[in-house]
């Protein structure tokens, strides 16, 4: 952990049996990062003791000194939990690391390079892939036309940034990361990293903080067209080889219809 500044990847999760598989997958994605100087800080929200114990056992079994668990001692909003994760971090940079999404092995490396080159306070991806687990559909979404211009859950910022997640009100429970992006945008401190959607796959699994209707709206309004996807097919296939989308085929689609199929045998083995 001596090659470059330390990046703290910050995961907030509510311990629950149904989310345990997501947590394990997200921890594995952290362990696969190509950037060598990282730590993972896992903040546990209130939840059943057995679910908390399962996460502790999993982390202990990995035998890694770069993964730490912090437990919230009271019921906190999501925004407050994210502030707790930042306060618990030891790195010069902080990277939001959601527990139920897919992170490419080069995510930290690419975003940190973009941040250093820009001199900005924070960087987010402008485009991400969006995966719907039940219809097994995958979209390329471009967030440039949104109010914040980027996908908020992909934030990587400097530790000394004065950004603060809201701790009360609706924005502290839904859209807390959007509120932070708007803070940064208002003072010209947010850099967008474009044309790298493969670095982050936003997963809709039916139990997200935002509901299914919201996720469907994003795919419909922000998704690249069928034609553009077909022109980029080779690139998409190559960049997504590292991900395990499960045992069945996935349809890469735009709002105007399917573009092509990622066959099951072409996906990463589980």
Average pLDDT of the chain to the nearest whole number? 94
Is residue 138 predicted with pLDDT exceeding 60? yes
In which domain, by residue range, is 189 found?
7-266
Give a yes or no: residue 2 inside a domain: no
- Is residue 257 assigned to a domain? yes
pLDDT at 226 over 80: yes
Can you tell me the mean pLDDT for 163-168?
A: 96
Position 150 pLDDT exceeds 70: yes
What are the Cα distances from residue 66, in Å, to 39, 46, 173?
Answer: 5, 23, 29
* Domain CATH for 39: 3.90.550.10
Q: How confident is the model at residue 165 (pLDDT cuts 50, 70, 90)?
A: very high
pLDDT in tens, 189-216: 999 999 999 999 999 976 666 567 888 9
Range 25-50 average pLDDT: 97
- pLDDT, residue 174, reads 84
Q: Give the pTM.
A: 0.94
Note the pLDDT of residue 208. Answer: 61
Helices 49-62 & 20-31, crossing angle to 10 degrees?
20
- Coil, strand, or helix at residue 257? strand
Going by the DSSP 8-state scheme, the letter that residue 76 receives in this structure is -
Helices (DSSP H) in the chain: which residue ranges? 20-31, 49-62, 78-87, 107-118, 176-186, 212-222, 226-231, 233-239
Residue 45 has pLDDT above 70, yes or no: yes
Residue 1 lies in a domain: no
The total of structural domains in the chain comes to 1
As a whole-number percent, the residues of the chain with pLDDT over 90 amount to: 89
State mean pLDDT over 49-61: 97
Residue 1: predicted pLDDT = 42
Over residues 26-52, mean pLDDT: 97
């Amino acid at each position: 952990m001596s090659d470059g500044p330390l990046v703290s990847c910050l995961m907030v999760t509510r311990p629950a049996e149904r989310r345990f598989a997501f947590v394990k997958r997200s921890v594995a994605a952290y362990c696969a990062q190509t950037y060598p100087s990282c730590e993972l800080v896992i903040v546990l929200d209130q939840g059943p003791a057995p679910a908390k114990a399962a996460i502790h056992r999993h982390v202990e079994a990995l035998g890694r000194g770069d993964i730490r668990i912090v437990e919230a001692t009271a019921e906190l909003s999501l925004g407050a939990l994210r502030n707790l994760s930042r306060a618990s971090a030891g790195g010069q940079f902080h990277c939001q690391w959601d527990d139920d999404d897919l992170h490419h092995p080069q995510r930290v490396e690419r975003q940190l390079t973009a941040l250093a080159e820009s001199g900005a306070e924070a960087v987010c991806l402008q485009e991400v892939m969006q995966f719907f687990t039940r219809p097994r559909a995958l979209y390329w979404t471009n967030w440039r036309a949104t109010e914040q211009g980027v996908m908020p859950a992909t934030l990587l910022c400097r530790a000394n940034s004065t950004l603060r997640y809201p701790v009360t009100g609706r924005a502290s429970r839904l859209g807390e990361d959007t509120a932070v992006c708007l803070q940064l945008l208002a003072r010209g401190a947010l850099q967008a990293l474009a044309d790298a959607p493969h670095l982050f796959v936003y997963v809709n699994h039916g139990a997200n903080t935002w509901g299914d209707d919201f996720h469907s709206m994003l795919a419909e309004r922000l998704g690249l067209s069928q034609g553009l996807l077909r022109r980029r097919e080779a690139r998409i296939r190559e960049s997504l080889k590292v991900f395990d989308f499960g045992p069945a085929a996935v349809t890469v689609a735009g709002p105007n219809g399917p573009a092509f199929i990622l066959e099951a045998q072409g996906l990463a083995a589980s």
